[in-house]
Structure 1
Amino acid sequence: MRLYHGSNIAIDNINLAMCRPYKDFGQGFYLTDIEEQAKKMAARVARIYGKTPIINVYEIDDDFKALDNLRIKDFGIQTTEEWARFVMNNRSRDFIDVKDILCNKDNKYDIVIGPVADDNMALLFRQYENEIIDFETLLKGMIYKRTSSQYSFHTERSVAFLRKVASKVV
């Protein structure tokens, strides 16, 4: 399986310490199986931080989900209540119950797979957190959102399964 990471630099060695915290699935290295999505992310990163948009291409064995030595949380492609709570907990600086199964701040999952919480989804989360909407309204707002996929790698053990294929200027 091919996975893509959009950036403004070529990444030959993944350094998890350089990854930002408070992301959808926690601090980790994020990729997608959708090349076009990675191109858009590369353009966004280059626009914000400068340099040239680059797609870093990696491969991982198709059967990686079946490996016993990896803890994988797979939400599939649909937004769900479980996914929403997981994303909100990981994004929140105030959420401190890291042992909760709906949180990955402690990297209890080596790899997490699921939809991306885009800017529209983030707005719904903020409205819920600020008590402008209730959870039921949040869930209803998620139903019609088109999502894209992300694969996040949170441990050195999981990153070791990625094989760098190429870095391409977009």
Structure 2
Amino acid sequence: MRLYHGSNIAIDNINLAMCRPYKDFGQGFYLTDIEEQAEKMAIRVAKIYGQSPILNVYEIDDNFKDLNNLRIKNFGIWTTEEWAKFVMNNRSRAFMDVQDVLCNKDNKYDIVIGPVADDNMALLFRQYENEIIDFETLLKGMIYKKTSSQYSFHTEKSVKLLRKVMSRNV
């Protein structure tokens, strides 16, 4: 399986310490199986931080989800209530219950797979957190919405499964 990471640099060695916290699935290295999505991210990152947009391409064995030594949280391709709570908990600087199964701030999951919380989702989350809307309204705004895809790698054990194929300009 091919996975793609959009950036403004070629990434030959993944350094988890360089990854930002408070992301959808926690601090980790994020990829997608959708090449166009990664290309758009590369363009966005290059505009924000400078340099040129780069697409980093990796491969991972198709059966990686079957490995017994990995803890994988797979939300599938649809937004759900469980997914929404997981993303909100990981994004929140105030959420401290890291033992919660709907949180990955402690990297309890080696790999997390699921939809991306796009700008519309982020707006819904902010409205909920600011008590402008209730949880039911949040759910109505997002349930069954098919979004883009992300695979996040949170531990050295999981990163070692990725094999760099190439980097190319977008």
In 2: Cα distance, 1:114 partner to 1:103 partner: 14
Please give the secondary structure, in 2, of the residue aligned with 1:22: coil
Q: Residue deviations 1:25-70, cap 9 Å, x none?
A: 0000000000000000000000000000000000000000000000
Instruction: Structure 2: state its 5+ residue gaps.
Output: none
- Determine if contact 2:77/2:146 at 8 Å carries over to the other structure: no
Please give the secondary structure, in 1, of the residue aligned with 2:83: helix
Please give the secondary structure, in 2, of the residue aligned with 1:76: coil
- The Cα of 1:100 is off from its aligned counterpart by 0.2
In 2: Cα distance, 1:110 partner to 1:3 partner: 16
In 2: Cα distance, 1:65 partner to 1:71 partner: 9
Name 1:169's counterpart in structure 2: 169
In 2: Cα distance, 1:160 partner to 1:52 partner: 27
Name 1:43's counterpart in structure 2: 43
- The Cα of 1:99 is off from its aligned counterpart by 0.3
Name 1:71's counterpart in structure 2: 71
Letter of the 2:160 counterpart: A
Superposition TM-score, scaled by structure 2 size: 0.99
Letter of the 2:110 counterpart: D
Is 1:27 paired with 2:30?
A: no
Name 2:87's counterpart in structure 1: 87
Instruction: Structure 1: state its 5+ residue gaps.
Output: none
- The Cα of 1:146 is off from its aligned counterpart by 4.2
Letter of the 1:139 counterpart: L
Is 1:141 paired with 2:150?
A: no
- The Cα of 1:125 is off from its aligned counterpart by 0.2
In 1: Cα distance, 2:20 partner to 2:116 partner: 16
- The Cα of 1:145 is off from its aligned counterpart by 3.9
Name 1:155's counterpart in structure 2: 155
In 1: Cα distance, 2:19 partner to 2:105 partner: 13
Name 1:110's counterpart in structure 2: 110
Q: Residue deviations 1:87-119, cap 9 Å, x none?
A: 000000000000000000000000000000011
In 1: Cα distance, 2:115 partner to 2:143 partner: 12
Please give the secondary structure, in 1, of the residue aligned with 2:108: coil
In 1: Cα distance, 2:37 partner to 2:122 partner: 18
Superposition TM-score, scaled by structure 1 size: 0.99
Q: How many residues align?
A: 170
Name 1:11's counterpart in structure 2: 11
- The Cα of 1:143 is off from its aligned counterpart by 3.0
Calculate percent identity across the aligned residue pairs.
Answer: 86
In 1: Cα distance, 2:59 partner to 2:99 partner: 31
